[in-house]
Amino acid sequence: MTQENRSGRQAEIHITQMRRNPYLADYSTGNRNADKNINRNTPRRQRRRRRARIRSYIRMTLLCAGILVGIVALTKLLKVPAGTAEASTPMEAIDMAQQVGKGTENTTGTRIQGLSAETYAAHPDWTEDFLTVNEYSRPGDPLTEVNNIFVHYTANPGTSAAQNRSYFEQLKDNHERSASAHFIIGYNGEILQCVPLDEIAYAVQTRNEDSISIECCYKADNGQFTRETYDSLIRLLRWLIDAYELEPEDILRHYDCGGKKCPIYYTEHEDAWERLKEDVKNL
Ligand SMILES: [Zn+2]
């Protein structure tokens, strides 16, 4: 080894030492700042780190507890409306049950004058003015079946529906005779109902038990009905035969059951009577 070689090697060592700067990195272990680590691992620092770790655990525990409390509180808040909903559900159920009950009652229970509410509601306009229950004009006996509708005339020209109703009503006091009808149609076309449809009237002696009777007012000497009376009669007859599932042929004159000439015009004019039934059929 020459002198030159020795000095060259020393220079090389110097460069190597320069490269191995301990403040940059410990290349042999790959651990950065190894010298500093050595300093940190003193018992004092270890205690400090342990305390820091404990504080960290405590903080984490407190944080977890806080989150837990938050979740519980949130659940309770959410459960309040849920509870309300539960409380209202039975109420709604009761309401619904009542609705269903009402529906059932409406469709099967409610009957007006012996007819379903729906059928009854379709009747032509009339004024309900029932007679007082009495043995001369409104006995109050039930009418359980309807096989015919009888048409009458009042046999008293120029009298109104109201006057003829009063006549029926007064029979309870004067006891003159027994007479009435379910309806009276005035010569202006007004309809008065005197007896409910589920009760018998005293109109056709042998058929009171299974028929409905209509009295018609008139002005003409021959007993012909006014246009107004006639039109109301056709509408009422149409509704009645529909309500009781009858045919126009089931509409009878008082004359057809007992021979009395009532209603007189339609006993003397068969064609007019046939036309009347046709008009009911075609309405
Ligand atoms: Zn009659």
At 216-227, the pLDDT tens digits run 999 999 999 999
Supply the pLDDT for residue 97: 38
Task: Taking each helix axis as running N to C, give the angle between helix 270-282 and helix 227-243, from 0 to 180 degrees, rounded to the nearest 10.
Answer: 60
**CA 208 – ligand 1 centroid, Å:** 12
**CA 262 – ligand 1 centroid, Å:** 5
- The two structure tokens encoding residue 151: 């048409």
Distance separating the N- and C-terminal Cα atoms of the chain: 144
Q: Please give the Cα distance from 24 to 33 (Å, whole number).
A: 7
Measured from the Cβ of residue 9, the count of other Cβ atoms closer than 10 Å reads 11
**CA 263 – ligand 1 centroid, Å:** 6
Supply the pLDDT for residue 72: 58
For residue range 107-149, list pLDDT tens digits in order: 457 999 999 999 999 999 999 999 999 999 999 999 999 999 9
What's the one-letter identity of residue 133? V
Measured from the Cβ of residue 241, the count of other Cβ atoms closer than 10 Å reads 21
Helix (H, G, I), strand (E, B) or coil at 148: strand
**CA 236 – ligand 1 centroid, Å:** 17
| 13-19-21 Cα angle (round to 5) | 115
**CA 245 – ligand 1 centroid, Å:** 23
Q: Is the pLDDT of residue 39 over 80?
A: no
Supply the pLDDT for residue 202: 97
* pLDDT, greater one: 237 or 12: 237
Q: Which of 266, 153, 272, 124 shows the shortest CA–CA distance to 217?
A: 153
**CA 254 – ligand 1 centroid, Å:** 5
Q: Please give the Cα distance from 213 to 263 (Å, whole number).
A: 12
| 213, β-bridge pairs | 150
Confidence of residue 203 (pLDDT cuts 50, 70, 90): very high
Measured from the Cβ of residue 55, the count of other Cβ atoms closer than 10 Å reads 10
**CA 48 – ligand 1 centroid, Å:** 122
For residue range 245-280, list pLDDT tens digits in order: 999 999 999 999 987 899 999 999 999 999 999 999
Give the CB-side neighbour count of residue 135, counting CA atoms within 13 A: 1
**CA 282 – ligand 1 centroid, Å:** 25
Confidence of residue 56 (pLDDT cuts 50, 70, 90): confident
**CA 258 – ligand 1 centroid, Å:** 10
